[in-house]
Amino acid sequence: MPNTKAKVPKLLGLAALFLLLPLIYNNCGQVAPVEDESTSLDSSSGLSPESAAGGEEFWESAQLGPARAMSGATQSQTTANCQVTGDFPLRTHFRKGVGPAPGGTDLPQLLNTSLSSEVAARQPFVRIYRDYVPRPGMYLEDNFDGNVYPDQDIRAVLGSLCSATVPLVRFRQVSSAITTMDDIRNLIIPNERSFQVLHGLVFKKNLFTVVVPPMWTAGGSRSSLFSNGYSLHGQLMNSNLFFRELNRAYQLDQKGAIGVMWNGGGAQGTYTVHDTAYSEFNDFLRILVPAVGLNADKAIAMGGSRAGWTAINMAAHPLVTSLRFAHVYSVFPPADWDAASRSVSTTIPFLLTVIDSAAGYVGAWRNGFRSPELGLSGSDALIFTQTGTSNRSVLRQNHSLFSTLRTDKIKRGNTSILLAISSHDFIVPSVGQWDLAKAYLDTGMNVEIEKHYFCGHGSCKMPDHDLAAAIVQLNASATPRTERLVTPRRVSHFMVNATTGVSEPITRAGNLDPLTVEFPRFILDDVEGPVFATGVPGRRYAVALKDSLGQDFGFIMVLSASGTARYNWAANQVPDGVIRLGGIFEVNSADEPVTKIAFISNLKDNPPIEFLRYREDTRDLGTGVALAITKSFVGNNLERAYVDPKAGVAFLMNYGVLETGTLPVSAADIALVRRISGRLTPTPTATPAPTATPSPTPIPNVCGASTAPLQFASPDGSNVCSVEWPQRSVGQSIKSIARSTNGGASGELNGTCTATNTWSFSYLCPNKTGSTCGGGQTVLPSIPSGARACTFKWDQASGGANARILSSAAELNGGVIDGKCETTGWAFSYACADPGVKACTGGGAFLPSASGGNGCHFAWPHTVGGRSFSGSSDAAAGNGAGRLTADCVVEGTAAVWKNVVAVCP
C-alpha cells in the first residue's frame, strides 16, 4: 500500500486528532510495514494547531503501527489488472451550515485554534475543541468522518479484494440515510463478478461499510465478517487483513462472506462503548440480515485494541439479538474500562493523551484536574463520556467484558474466542488483558489464549490466523452452533523476534508464565507511575532498586490469582535523580529470597534500567508533556517502540524485564532483600580480646530505633503503610500504627526485641479497598413533591475520598449525589427532580484571585428552577475563601442560571 503520510487534511491539526487514537485504535490489518518518514517533533507541540505539522507523521505512525498487529504473514492476493471503479471522492458526511448530514463533503473545523495562546495566558481551563466539550451522545464528529484520503490510496487498499478470477471492485457511496432494507439492496448489482463495497452508510448515529462478495443474489444464506473502527475512512485505509480474508474465503469456496465495518457513533465517537450504540447496531442488523441474506448463526467478529473489545462485545452484549457470533478474534483488548481508566500513568503513556481528548481539556490527566462542567476527574470524565456513567460499580456491571451478563451470553451462544494478549503494552494495560484471559479460562468458555511477550500494541507482526478457513467451515456447516473454531483452553506462548519483528512460538517448561515487570521510565509529580507485573499466580517478588546516592530501596510485589500485580509508587516515595534496577528476587511468605531472577531487559547490552524524574510537568497545565514523554521513548519512529532490528534486541516503550531463568541467591542478595523489606539486620560488633584491665565493655541488650520509616505493601499492592519505631531492650515489645502513604487505611506493626539484639516483628497493611466507607445503594424521593424516585449507587472508598454519582444517564438533570467519606461514614447531599421539573445543570467555574493569590474553583449541584444556590469555593482547588451565589430561573422550556455573582479575594 502506498505511503499516505502528509496527505490527510489537517482537520484537527492531526496532532490533536491522533490524540484520540490510542485507546480505541481501529486496526484490521496493515500487511506491509509502513516506512517511517517522521520529522522532528518539538515536545511542546502535542496539542497546538499552529505546530501540528511537526507531529503529523509521528501521530500517523501511531495509527499505522498498531495496525500491523493483526497483519499476519501472508500478503494479499492482488493482481496487476485490478480495476476499482465507482463513487469518488470520499465524503465526510458534514455539510457547512447544517452540521452532520449524509452526503456532506465539507471539512469541519473542530479544534480550538486559540489553544496555545490560552495556555500562554495561564488560563486555568483550556479547551481542546472549539466551543465544544465531549459528552455522551454529542461526542466529537458525531456522525461524520473527518479524514479524507486521495482516490489513488483508496483504490490501492481496495485492491486487496482483487484476484486473477475477480479483478473488479465496485465502490459505492450514498447521499441519504439508510432506513429500510431496500435502501441497502438497491445499492447492489446482482450476479456481478466483483466485490461491491458500500461505504459510509449512515444509520442513525452510526456509519457502516458493507462488502458484498461476487455473484451475490437476493435470498442467500451467507456467513459474515464484522470489524469495528474508530474512524470509518481510517478503518477502510487499514483493512488489508479484513479484505484479504474476504478474498481468500471466496477463492476457497466461491461463496465467501458478507463483510461489515461498523463505526458506532461516527468517526472519533463513543457510541461503540455506549449501550445506545449496541441498540442501534441491532436495529441496523434487523435491516441488513434480510437485505443481504445473512445467516443469523454464522457471524464472525475481529478487531484489535478497542476494536478487539468491541469484537467480543458484539458477541456478548445483551442488546445484540439479531446475530449470533460463532467466532471472535480479539487482539490486545482493553478488558475493563474501569481498570483501564485507573491505569492512566507514565507506564501507559498514551492514556495521558486519551484523558485530555475525552475530557476536552489540556492537562486533564493531572491528578488535581476537575472538569468545570461535571466536577469529575479526567479519568472519570473519560468513562462518563464513553459510557454515560461515572459510577464505577455500574461500569463494571454494564460495560466490562468480565460481567456475568457478557460471559453468560458468550457461553449460551457457544462462541469460539481466540484471544491474543500482550506484555509491556504502552496503550492498553497488559495486566487487564491477562485478567480477562484468566477469567475466560475459568468460566469454561471455548477460548484459546495466545500470550505475546515483548509484542506491545502492534509493532510486531502476529502469526497468521486463518479467518477465511473459519468462514468456509461455517458456510459448509448445517449445525453452525456446534462448530468449535478454536482449541478450548489451549494457552500458547510467543515472543517477538527482534530481527524480523514477528511474534514467534516459544516453549515454556510446564507451560508456566514467565515473570514480566513493566516500569515507568519517567516519574511525574502529578500522575502515577505504577509498576505492573504478570506471571505465575500467587508468586511473590522483591524488587530492589538503588537511588543516585547508592542507597537501596524497593518493594514486595504479590501476583494475584490471575497472575497479575500492580504496585503504586507515590511520587514522594521515589527519590530524585537516576534510579537503577538492582535485582528481582522470588521470595517466600516471610519475604526471604528463594531465587534470583535472571532476566533480559529492553535495552541493548542489557545494562541496568534507569528511571528519571520528569520536571517538565511543572509548566502551566503541562501542555505537550504527554506527547513529550511518548516521543522520548522512541524518538520520531513509533514502529521502533518495541522492536529494533538494527540493535538486535527487543526495545520496549515502557522499561521492563522478562524472566529468562533463575540463579542461586548469595549472602549479599539475602542482605539486600532484607534491607528493602525493612528487616534490617545489624552488623555484629566484634568482642575485644580480654586484657587484665580494663574489663571488656558489655554489648548492650537493646534493639536499635529505626533510622528511616519502614514501608510495606498490602497483600494486593494497592496500599503502602509506613512506620517508625523506638529503641527497646531485649524482651520488650512495641505496637505501632503504620500510616498509609497513598490514601488507604492505616496498618499495624508488632515487634519484639530478641536475645540476639534483633527485632522480630509482624505487620499488617490492609488492601486499599478495606476502606472507611462502604459502597451502597439508596432510593431517594424527588423534590419538591416526591413524585419520582432516584436510585443511587456508589463504590466503597477511603477516608477523605469524594463521590459524585449520577442516578442514571436519563436522569442527568434529575438525580445527582455529591458525597465525602468522613470518619463517621458517608456524608451526602443529593438532588432528584420531579418529572417535568426544569433544572439547571450543575457545573464549575474558576476565578482568579483579585489580590494575585490562589484562584478559587466553584462547583455547584443540579438545582431545580426557582431555587438559588450559595456556596464557597473548593478548598482543595483554591484558597477556600471565595463565595458564589446564583439563581436557577425557568425560561420557557428550560431552566438557566441567572444573577451569578462570584468573588475571590
Which among 607, 351, 652 is positioned nearest to 516, based on CA atoms?
Answer: 652
Cα-based distances in Å from 34 to 61, 162, 301, 524, 542: 8, 21, 25, 33, 41
Q: Taking the chain, what is the end-to-end CA distance rounded to the nearest angstrom?
A: 61
Q: Are 227 and 28 in contact (CB under 8 A)?
A: yes
One DSSP character per residue, 527-582 reads S---EEEESSTT-EEEEEEE-TTS-EEEEEEE--TTSEEEEPPPGGGSPSS-EEEE
Cα separation, 620 vs 616, whole angstroms: 9
Q: Are 494 and 506 in contact (CB under 8 A)?
A: yes
Band (805; pLDDT cuts 50, 70, 90): low
Cα separation, 840 vs 834, whole angstroms: 13
Range with lowest mean pLDDT among 172-176, 183-187, 729-733, 790-794: 790-794
For the cut 90, the answer to whether the pLDDT of residue 245 exceeds it is yes
Q: Which residue has the higher pLDDT, 191 or 455?
A: 191
Residue 857 confidence (pLDDT): 75
C-alpha angle 111-116-121 in degrees, rounded to nearest 5: 130
Helix/strand number for the chain, H first, E second? 17, 45
Range with lowest mean pLDDT among 99-108, 373-382, 402-411: 99-108
Q: How many Cβ atoms are within 10 Å of 507's Cβ, its own excluded?
A: 7
Grid cell at residue 535: 506471571
CA dihedral of residues 62, 55, 21, 335 (deg, nearest 10) = 60
Which among 357, 368, 300 is positioned nearest to 124, based on CA atoms?
Answer: 368
Q: Which residue has the higher pLDDT, 413 or 363?
A: 413
For the cut 50, the answer to whether the pLDDT of residue 41 exceeds it is no
- Across 154-251, where does the E strand assignment appear? 168-172, 195-203, 206-212, 222-228
Q: Which residue has the higher pLDDT, 618 or 323?
A: 323
Query: Looking at residue 773, what DSSP letter applies?
Result: B
Mean pLDDT of the chain: 77
Residue 410 confidence (pLDDT): 97
Grid cell at residue 307: 476494536
Indicate the SS3 state at residue 738: strand
Residue 430 confidence (pLDDT): 92
**Structure pTM?**
0.71
For the cut 90, the answer to whether the pLDDT of residue 471 exceeds it is yes
Quick one: average pLDDT of 275-286?
94
For the cut 60, the answer to whether the pLDDT of residue 97 exceeds it is yes
For the cut 60, the answer to whether the pLDDT of residue 606 exceeds it is no
For the cut 60, the answer to whether the pLDDT of residue 503 exceeds it is yes
Band (25; pLDDT cuts 50, 70, 90): very low
Q: Which residue has the higher pLDDT, 242 or 96?
A: 242
Q: 846-854 long-range CB contacts below 8 Å, 24 or more apart? A: 846/124, 846/125, 846/372, 846/877, 846/878, 847/873, 847/882, 847/902, 847/903, 847/904, 848/124, 848/904, 849/879, 849/904, 849/905, 850/903, 850/904, 850/905, 851/905, 853/879, 853/905, 854/878, 854/879
The rounded Cα 636 to chain-centroid distance in angstroms is 23
Q: What is the pLDDT of residues 839-872, one digit of tens each?
A: 777 766 777 787 777 778 777 777 778 888 888 8
Band (47; pLDDT cuts 50, 70, 90): very low
For the cut 90, the answer to whether the pLDDT of residue 253 exceeds it is yes
For the cut 70, the answer to whether the pLDDT of residue 372 exceeds it is yes
- Max intra-chain CA distance, the chain: 116
266-295 core/surface letters (b: 16 or more CB in 10 A; e: else): bbbbbbbbbbbbbebbbebbebbbebbbbb
For the cut 60, the answer to whether the pLDDT of residue 464 exceeds it is yes
Cα separation, 325 vs 322, whole angstroms: 10
Range with lowest mean pLDDT among 440-444, 468-472, 803-807: 803-807
For the cut 60, the answer to whether the pLDDT of residue 489 exceeds it is yes
Residue 264 confidence (pLDDT): 84
Burial class (CB in 10 A: 0-12, 13-18, 19+), 249: buried
As a whole-number percent, the residues of the chain with pLDDT over 90 amount to: 31
User: What is the Rg, in whole angstroms, of the alpha carbon atoms belonging to the chain?
Assistant: 29
Q: Which residue has the higher pLDDT, 890 or 161?
A: 161
Which among 635, 462, 455, 636 is positioned nearest to 60, based on CA atoms?
Answer: 636
Residue 306 confidence (pLDDT): 86
Which among 239, 32, 263 is positioned nearest to 149, based on CA atoms?
Answer: 239
Residue 871 confidence (pLDDT): 83
Q: Are 431 and 183 in contact (CB under 8 A)?
A: no
Most confidently predicted of 208-212, 217-221, 780-784, 892-896: 208-212
Quick one: average pLDDT of 354-371?
87
Band (268; pLDDT cuts 50, 70, 90): low
Residue 840 confidence (pLDDT): 78
Q: Output phi, psi for 534, to 5 deg.
A: -135, 155
Indicate the SS3 state at residue 107: coil
Residue identified by cell 506471571 is 535
Cα separation, 904 vs 845, whole angstroms: 11
Ramachandran area for residue 832 (φ above 0: left; ψ -120 to 50: alpha; else beta): beta
Beta bridge partners of 745: none
Q: Are 599 and 453 in contact (CB under 8 A)?
A: no
Residue 12 confidence (pLDDT): 28
Distant-in-sequence, close-in-space partners of 698: CB < 8 Å, separation ≥ 6: none
Grid cell at residue 545: 532498586
Q: Are 351 and 22 in contact (CB under 8 A)?
A: yes
One DSSP character per residue, 834-892 reads PTT--EEPPEEEEE--TTSS--EEEEE--EETT-EEEEEPPTTTS-S--EEEEEEEEET
Quick one: average pLDDT of 557-562?
94
- The DSSP element (H or E) to which 236 belongs, if any, is helix 232-237
Band (119; pLDDT cuts 50, 70, 90): confident
Q: What is the pLDDT of residues 652-711, one digit of tens each?
A: 456 778 898 899 999 999 999 999 887 654 444 444 444 444 444 444 577 777 766 777
Burial class (CB in 10 A: 0-12, 13-18, 19+), 451: buried
Q: Which residue has the higher pLDDT, 175 or 459?
A: 175
Quick one: average pLDDT of 356-372?
87
For the cut 60, the answer to whether the pLDDT of residue 427 exceeds it is yes
For the cut 80, the answer to whether the pLDDT of residue 408 exceeds it is yes
Range with lowest mean pLDDT among 186-190, 280-284, 676-680: 676-680
Cα-based distances in Å from 334 to 402, 457, 522, 621: 11, 11, 23, 28
Band (576; pLDDT cuts 50, 70, 90): confident
Q: Are 247 and 77 in contact (CB under 8 A)?
A: yes
For the cut 80, the answer to whether the pLDDT of residue 299 exceeds it is yes
Residue 417 confidence (pLDDT): 98
Q: What is the length of the chain?
A: 905
Quick one: average pLDDT of 416-442?
92
